[in-house]
Chain A
Amino acid sequence: MGNSASHSPLLSSDRNAAPRQMVSASMRTASGPTHYGRALYLAINVAILIFLLAPIAIVVVFALNPTPFIQFPPVGVSLRWFEKFFASRDFMHALGFSLQIALLTTVSATVLGASAALALARGNLPGTRLIVATMLSPLMLPAILTGLALFQTYVLLDVGRPTWGLVAGHTLVTLPYVVRTTLAVLHNFDLRLEEAARNLGASPLRTFFEVTLPLIKPGVLAGAIFAFIVSFDQFPVSLFLVSPGNETLPVTLFNYLKFDLDGTIGAASVVSIVLAFVVVVGLDRTVGLRSYVKL
């Protein structure tokens, strides 16, 4: 199982990056106190990186550890928790349900978010700033309230806890990512390209499909990837909207965690961590991370 292997290169190369910086920095500034200051600066930052990444590494260690309780330092390597995880009907059902919800959410958030971004950047709408702020607000407003409000609405309307209701809730909290990444590319690209197409006689529709769409594709794609991973990990909205027996993976993990702390949960965590790493690396390779993570 290549789970830990896909982690260690990232972690180790991070640690390697630090000393290299330190060397170049000390060569640049030769004076004494500056040198120590620089070393301190890097030491603090490396400590912060360890704080960020160590808990994730610990989960991987825990998942591979054969003992049913936390044992540190680890006593061996085993895949029994992964076997237990993949053999568990509850976890597998939850994993499948989460993937299904995440896919549906990705499609709806991408379509709605990208078209909204297009309208906001090119539609000359009045009150654009306010609309953008509103559409980004689910990022900051408590997701647990989105869950609560939707739950109360579904109760009042007596519709039960349907899958579409869960997807709608997830779409609401993932849409901001698509709006933001699409707006970012729409603002960055040269308007004169569209003007040129128009001037050469292309209809607005043709300009859109042959010039605008290909240019904004990376932004839309990045937004879609964010939407998928955020939906897959979403918890507070799901907490209110899932029905017993039809729970998403984070909710199942949470319920399990309340009573038990064995390696199965570690294995389940590793599966979701690996997914996140694959997505981050994939995002970086395909569209580049840098432009899409501005907050």
Chain B
Amino acid sequence: MSEAATRRPNGLALFILPGALLFALFFFLPIGLMALMSVLTGNPVVAPKVAFTTRHYARMFDDPYYLEVIWTTIRIGLVTTLVALVIGYPLAHWMARIKSRTGHALLLMAVLAPMLTGIVVRTFAWMTLLSDKGVINQTLISLGIVSQPLKLMYTETGIVVGLVHIYVPFMVLTLTGVIGRIDERLEQAAENLGASPLRAFIEVTLPLSLPGILAGSLLVFALAISAYVTPILLGGFQIMTLPILIYQQISANFNVGFAAALGIVLLLISLMLVIAYNHALGLVSGQRELQ
């Protein structure tokens, strides 16, 4: 087949235009403007004299407070990713290997139902569980296991628990796809040759699912570092992350330039993750697939 003949755009290619226009006007233009605002001294529409400046970035990198905020965000993201992987892998493995169709459908619903429940609602659910007078503390106190309520909320641990619950479905779905593509006969062959199921898993399945582990981890990390609702509600406004700081700069300080600079930093981190994620998925599906 000649490449030139098959690759010439046809009439259907025009259907891309409305979507492309949406992205141009409401995605690339706004992000371009955000990048521009991050290097300007003020709003060019209202302020008469506006100059280029690097002060927003300098402020971020000179002040240990802001570096600490970035580090907190990344630390919460890393721990969330790790826990989501440990919890997500067994479930993904089960989903990929379960024989019964009904069983698979039920598992899928169990994973999707939390995913399709709003972030605010799920965070609220964790507040009822983790707060000082929440379900967990009430149960522990009434059983006499603890006398004082455990400090579960307003801690990084609380944030991580909430974030894991919210983003583990993404890990499960990514891993299920990858594990499902690993030929089960490879594990059976290892077992027939005398390996225990655990050893067959560690030496066959696990290495073959590494690209999925990578893709799922990148996805969860990217989502976790951009979370706003969960860190602010479960952290009780006491733990500062990048998204919280960004919103605060807009709502409380109306410092659009600094918010834009923080946004660009978060965007660059996320972009790197997106590229790495696509690369990791490319390892799974080969180069031919579009998605």
By a beta-carbon cutoff of 8 Å, the part of chain A in contact with chain B is 10, 13-14, 17, 20-21, 33-34, 37-38, 41-42, 44-45, 48-49, 51-53, 55-56, 58-59, 62, 69-72, 111-113, 115-116, 118-126, 128-129, 131-138, 140-146, 148-153, 155-156, 158, 168-169, 171-172, 175, 179-180, 183-184, 187, 204, 229, 232-233, 235-236, 239-240, 250, 253-254, 257-258, 261, 265-266, 269, 272-273, 276-277, 279-281, 284, 289-290, 293-295
Contacts and interface: CB of A to CB of B under 8 A. Distances in A.
B111 interface: yes
B23 A149 contact: no
Main SS class of interface, A: helix
Interface string B7-47: 11111111110111011011101110110010000011100
Contacts of B246: 144-145, 148
A147 to B, nearest CB: 9
The 5 closest A-B pairs by CB, nearest first: A142-B226, A123-B13, A233-B118, A116-B19, A149-B30
A152 B122 contact: no
Contacts of B169: 52
B16 A55 contact: no
Given A142-B243, A172-B26, A290-B104, A233 B117 contact: yes
B247 A273 contact: no
Given A145-B267, A235-B229, A55 B33 contact: no
| Chain B contact residues, majority secondary structure | helix
A55 B219 contact: no
A49 B91 contact: yes
Contact of B127 (A180, A261, A295): A261
A155 B43 contact: yes
Contacts of B8: 124
Contacts of B223: 140
A281 B109 contact: yes
B228 A137 contact: no
A28 B291 CA distance: 38
B261 to A, nearest CB: 11
Interface stretch (B55-63, B130-138, B203-211): B130-138
Interface in B167-209: 168-170, 173-174, 177, 196-198
A38 B94 CA distance: 11
A197 to B, nearest CB: 15
Interface centre among B123, B124, B216, B228 (most CB of A within 10 A): B124
B3 to A, nearest CB: 11
A272 B126 CA distance: 16
Contact of B174 (A17, A41, A119, A295): A295
Interface in B275-291: 277-278, 289-291
B239 interface: no
Contacts of A276: 113, 116-118
A131 B250 contact: no
B72 to A, nearest CB: 16
Contacts of A172: 22-23, 26-27
B181 to A, nearest CB: 11
Nearest to A229: B116
B102 interface: yes
Given A171-B26, A284-B108, 9 more contacts: A17-B103, A42-B94, A53-B114, A145-B266, A145-B270, A149-B31, A152-B37, A258-B233, A269-B117
B263 A295 contact: no
A25 to B, nearest CB: 10
B31 A115 contact: no
B98 interface: yes
A239 B22 CA distance: 20
Contacts of B266: 142, 145
Contact of B29 (A136, A142, A153, A261): A153
B247 A239 contact: yes
Contacts of A56: 113-114, 117, 122, 125
B34 A149 contact: yes
A122 B12 contact: yes
A145 B256 CA distance: 13
B31 to A, nearest CB: 5
Contacts of A120: 16, 290
Interface string B231-254: 001000000000100110010000
Contact of B139 (A51, A72, A137): A72
B226 A277 contact: no
B116 A132 contact: no
Contact of A52 (B11, B20, B114, B135): B114
Contacts of A119: 12-16, 19
A247 B259 CA distance: 23
A280 B125 contact: no
A290 B105 CA distance: 8
Given A146-B27, A187-B290, A253 B274 contact: no
B135 A58 contact: yes
A272 B117 contact: yes
Contact of A62 (B37, B128, B170): B128
Contacts of A113: 19
Given A59-B125, A141-B274, A168-B22, A293 B139 contact: no
